[in-house]
Amino acid sequence: MKIFRTTILMLLISITGNITAQQTPAPKQTEAVTIVGAKAHLGNGEVIENSLIIFENGKITHVMDALTTKMQYRGEIINAEGKHVYPGFIAPNSTLGLVEIAAVRATDDEDEIGEMLPHLRSLIAYNAESKIVESMRPNGVLIGQITPRGGTISGTSSIVQFDAWNWEDAAIKKDDGLHINWPNSFTRGRWWLGEERGMKPNKEYADQVLKLSQFFNNSKAFLAGKQIDIHLPFKAMETVFTGQKKVYIHVNGEKEILDAIQFKKDQNLNEMVLVGAYDAYKVTDKLKDNNIAVLAQRPHLTPSNDGDHYDASYKLAKTLSDAGILVGLEGSGQMETMNTRNLPFYAGTVAAHGMDKEDALKLITSNTAKILGIDEFVGTLEGGKDATLFISEGDALDMRGNRIIKAFIQGREVSLETHQTELYQRYSNKYKSQKKK
């Protein structure tokens, strides 16, 4: 009887594992692939109407006009006439793989206890088998910057591709940047503590900024000393001061942005990126003069301030781009892990409100790659770069046209099946059978 129960238990575990696990990652590319006839959106603002793209060993070897070249096709030939090909979309400032079910604490690794946590690495908590990560691929989102949350200094992000066995396989750039949540000069009354409701000046703002500056200064002093004792937070700051890590400041208000710019100067930081940056359009000259890039908040948000235009969020990226600032799009906020799959439609919304479609595409491809420091191998369709790309039936920035038929990560053809597509097939077949009756 005991043996029977054990057998049943093992069978149930096996079945459950098969139901919940992600698909097996694709094997390494062994044969060249030629895509011919597609309209190629290169990700740098250029378009080839009738393209020829060849990649092998995980790298793009040729991108050219199919009508003017005599290049011989190689390996597997994909006839993509009438379709579109794009570089894989890149999702910065994302908690993908860190949170699976928000209501289940054991599946939430986005935040740790503490205020100054530069030594924390989001990469080692990344779950490559996340069902949510898997659901990004059918919309063309193939790369992400996995970013911690919480505290004043949240920790270090890393950049991964979305088809891997584990975090080691997934990583394409480890520990790329330090993330700081800039204090807010206004605070909302906590009614549950008896405080007055509504927004009011934050009396502790100056002290909070000073505390951040002191942490940077103390880190420099520690690193300049003999370092007899080990202090992990201070030690982790070394790569920030040497310029190996970028500094990402999560900030929105005009005053806070200006203070962050001054902080960059005071701390002699080489590269700083603003994340969110709702009021950045008010200080574009300052941003440009200090060579500060922006990962603009997702456009699908309501205006934050009284008197803001209804389309303020829609036009932020275009306004900054027109001012000569390097801009990408990020998707943090409510239900951000799920909503990351809407990244191409964020860019589509920006295009619908004045930006050229190919320039809007750059917000989630080449621009973001430059901001993250990975543009040497992803972000555009160019020879020598990773074959991380996809083929769509139509315009990938439009919900009606974003129908991915093939996707490749580093030359490997990845599965586009997810829990959602399985449910779609199940219920579409159900209703099809009912119609026949």
List per-residue pLDDT tens for the chain, 437 residues long: 455 454 444 444 444 444 445 678 999 999 999 999 999 999 999 999 999 999 999 999 999 999 888 888 999 999 999 999 999 999 999 999 998 877 777 778 888 889 999 999 999 999 999 999 999 999 999 999 999 999 999 999 999 999 999 999 999 999 999 999 999 998 877 777 777 777 888 889 999 999 999 999 999 999 998 776 788 999 999 999 999 999 999 999 999 999 999 999 999 998 999 999 999 999 999 999 999 999 999 999 888 887 888 888 999 999 999 999 999 999 998 888 888 999 999 999 999 999 999 999 999 999 999 999 999 999 999 999 999 999 999 999 999 999 999 999 999 999 999 888 888 888 888 777 776 66
Query: H or E stretch including 213?
Result: helix 205-224
In a domain, 1, yes or no: no
| Co-location of 201 and 333 in the same domain | yes
| Co-location of 392 and 243 in the same domain | no
| Co-location of 191 and 324 in the same domain | yes
CATH number, position 131: 3.20.20.140
In a domain, 11, yes or no: no
pLDDT at 437: 62
Is residue 249 within 8 Å of 273, Cβ to Cβ? yes
Strands 84-87 and 389-392: antiparallel
In a domain, 10, yes or no: no
d(CA 322, CA 342): 24
| Co-location of 280 and 348 in the same domain | yes
* Measured torsion, CA atoms of residues 71, 72, 76, 81, in degrees rounded to the nearest 10: 60
pLDDT at 142: 97
Number of domains in the chain: 2
Q: How far is CA 195 from CA 183, 188, 190, 201, 204, in A?
A: 19, 9, 5, 13, 15
In a domain, 14, yes or no: no
Is residue 252 within 8 Å of 277, Cβ to Cβ? yes
Q: How far is CA 286 from CA 112, 120, 162, 360, in A?
A: 34, 31, 36, 23
Query: How many other CB atoms are there within 10 angstroms of residue 105's CB atom?
Result: 8
Query: H or E stretch including 289?
Result: helix 284-289
Closest CA to 80 of 357, 390, 362, 388: 390
The sign of the dihedral angle between the CA atoms of 337, 325, 322, 45 is negative
> What is the DSSP secondary-structure string of 372-405?
HT-TTTSSS--TTSB--EEEESS-TTSTTT--EE
pLDDT at 424: 83
Among 336, 358, 378, the domain boundary falls at: 378
- What range defines the domain where residue 54 resides? 21-88+379-437
Q: Each residue of 285-304: b (16+ CB within 10 Å) or e?
A: eebeeeebbbbbbbbeeeee
In a domain, 399, yes or no: yes
Say which residues have a Cβ less than 8 Å from residue 329's Cβ, sequence separation at least 6.
92, 295, 296, 298, 299, 317, 343, 346, 347, 350, 363, 364, 368
Closest CA to 295 of 255, 347, 243, 349: 347
d(CA 49, CA 70): 17
| Co-location of 70 and 189 in the same domain | no
CATH number, position 402: 2.30.40.10
